[in-house]
Amino acid sequence: MTDPAIAVEDLVVYRGKRQVLFDLSCAVPAGQVTGLLGPSGGGKTTLLRSIVGVQEVRSGTVTVLGLPAGDRALRTRIGYVTQAPSVYADLSVRDNLRYFAALTSGADRIQEVLASVELADRAGDRVDQLSGGQRARVSLACALVGSPPLLVLDEPTVGLDPVLRRDLWNLFHDLARAGSTILISSHVMDEAARCDRLLLLREGRLYADDTPAAIRARTGTEDLEEAFLRLVSHAEEVR
Amino acid sequence: MNLAITAATAWRVLRQLRNDPRTVAMLVVVPSALMILLRYVYDGSPRTFDSIGLSLLGIFPFVAMFLVTSVAMLRERTSGTLERLFTTRLAKLDLLIGYALAFAVATVVQIGVVSLISFGWLGLSAPAGLGWVLALALASALLGMAMGLLVSAFARTEFQAVQFLPAVVLPQFLLCGLLTPRSQMVDVLRWLSNVLPMSYAVEGLTRVGQGTVDAVLIRDVLVVVACIVAALALGAATLRRRTA
């Protein structure tokens, strides 16, 4: 097996006085879609922030594409989409993309990226005139425009209609087939089945780091939500 | 730092301003209207109008850019765009200089219009030359921007950011020598006045009004520039790539 795109070892993170991640270790393989699943408040965003290098960590190491997280050389290689759409509401869709393209040298891909998130017809509209789901897609487009080898997406499909959600998942798999690594968080368990690999995170601890098939086999159920519940109750009995 | 990224940031901030025509109108119209009001309040004493009017050309851009920057930077912090920018190759200096360039353009427009009205119509005079007026006005604007950036780190909401305006501006306004000559203040207030940057902007503009281009005027400009650099450095320290 080749080196993982992301390797996390014994990661401990506090936010304020509260411990959010407890000695967390996991690996995200390159060229696949890995889902980070778990209830909200479980530490998903904190883990993603640690990977993109904007989170202060207490101890442990995070290695991304062979470099320590936050390394200067990684800044052109990661596309990060925060949970709340972080784009400029007072700019048009196209102006947002132009700006993020200038930060990543992807200016010639604006039209292509807008088409891939199905916003080509809204390019001239101001972001604050769009719906929540459309804003989320603008935010996603701003990460895609630089064609980064690693995409870190914090709940990018929340509030989207099922057809669009399916299309975006197809897009993620297309990108992965083309060689990108995609780490995507969700609190919706029905998205778990769409991933090549799953990390189940709850209360700052990892309950699984495996393929959906292996998790189903280990827990003896086809339903991934039920599998998650069994993993949690099993871990609690052991503890 | 990367010139293309700095320029893209300046262009982006200008587009945001341009998409908010009401703010642009307020930036341009309010100083001009106040100057007209002032002219007729001091209808009987043109010399008073000259001295206060010139000082105001330094105070307007300070106040305007302080407000615009503190709110704009607070939005960057709270909307998540700042966090996102810090995962890209944008350097802090790209952001700071990008903002500075955009607001310098806005200040040139603001001061251009108010100067046209003041010098062309209201009879305000700047014997030392308009170049000095523009230089001091630009310096004041950048000082306002740098201090706005700094206070945005201490505000969590736009309400709080706006409340910083009277806290930062009014003491400087009272002590800058516009209402009472600084030489007539009691010692403590004069010392205080000596460490507040607006005092130097106003003193410089007063010199411009007297037509004396001397070492004091040049020192005043340098002090304001030094304060801009200091406030920007402190503001930059509040922009952290990694946060708790």
Position with higher pLDDT, A133 vs B7: B7
Is pLDDT at B193 greater than 90 in this prediction?
yes
pLDDT in tens, chain A (239 residues): 578 999 999 999 999 899 999 999 999 999 999 999 998 889 999 999 999 999 999 999 999 999 999 999 999 999 999 989 999 999 999 999 999 999 987 678 999 999 999 999 999 999 999 998 899 999 999 999 999 999 999 999 887 888 889 999 999 999 999 999 999 999 888 889 999 999 999 999 999 999 999 999 999 998 888 998 899 888 888 77
Interface of A with B in 131-190 (CB under 8 A): 142
Chain B residues lying within 8 Å of A89, measured CB to CB = 79
Contact B89 A55 (CB under 8 A): no
Question: Which residue matches tokens 């807008």?
Answer: A114
Tell me how far apart the alpha carbons of residues A180 and B238 are, in angstroms, rounded to a whole number.
34
State the smallest CA–CA distance between residue A79 and chain B in angstroms: 8
Chain B residues lying within 8 Å of A100, measured CB to CB = 88
Tell me, yes or no, if A86 comes closer than 8 A to chain B by beta carbon.
yes
State the smallest CA–CA distance between residue A33 and chain B in angstroms: 21
Contact B80 A54 (CB under 8 A): no
What ipTM was predicted for this assembly? 0.90
- Look at residues A4, A171, A142 and name the one whose alpha carbon lies nearest to residue A80: A142
Nearest CA in chain B to A73: B89
Put residue B18 in one of left, alpha, beta given phi > 0 → left and psi -120 to 50 → alpha. Answer: alpha
Tell me, yes or no, if B18 comes closer than 8 A to chain A by beta carbon.
no
Cβ(B31)–Cβ(B110) below 8 Å: yes
**CB neighbours (10 Å) of residue B79?**
17
Distance set, CA B144 to CA B194, B220, B235 (Å): 18, 16, 12
The structure's pTM equals 0.91
Is pLDDT at B167 greater than 90 in this prediction?
yes
Contact A99 B5 (CB under 8 A): no
Tell me how far apart the alpha carbons of residues A142 and A164 are, in angstroms, rounded to a whole number.
18
Facing B80 at nearest CB: one of A86, A100, A104: A86
Strand order in the sheet with A67-68: A18-28, A6-15, A59-64, A67-68
